[in-house]
Amino acid sequence: MRIASQLWDEEGGSVSPFATVLLMTILLLGLLPGVVTLRDQIVQEFGDMAVAIETLDQSYSYSFNGVTSEYIDSSSVSDPEDEAPAGLDLTISASGEGG
């Protein structure tokens, strides 16, 4: 208990509140662009995964004792030329909330 009291009263390594607030503000301002970039990349990956699942080719063919069965999947989904993968546009500007 005595050591805790001595440590509590020790002021040799104290930090001023202004320095703490300044440091936290700088860290927060540096963290925000990173979090926004992370969000954009996660959304892009989900879009890419959705396109990959959507374009799975389910065609099959088999032959057993002279009997042949086949199915050819005719869907061909692809991104439009010069568009972002999955058609995502992350550069849309914000619009006003007014009607």
Reported as a single tens digit per residue, the pLDDT across 22-63 is 999 999 999 999 999 999 889 888 888 887 787 777 788 888
Output the pTM of the full model. 0.47
* Burial class of residue 48 (count of CB atoms within 10 Å of its CB; 0-12, 13-18, 19+): middle
Selection from 26, 25, 30, 45 nearest residue 90 by Cα: 45
Percent of the chain whose predicted confidence (pLDDT) is above 90: 14
* Burial class of residue 86 (count of CB atoms within 10 Å of its CB; 0-12, 13-18, 19+): middle
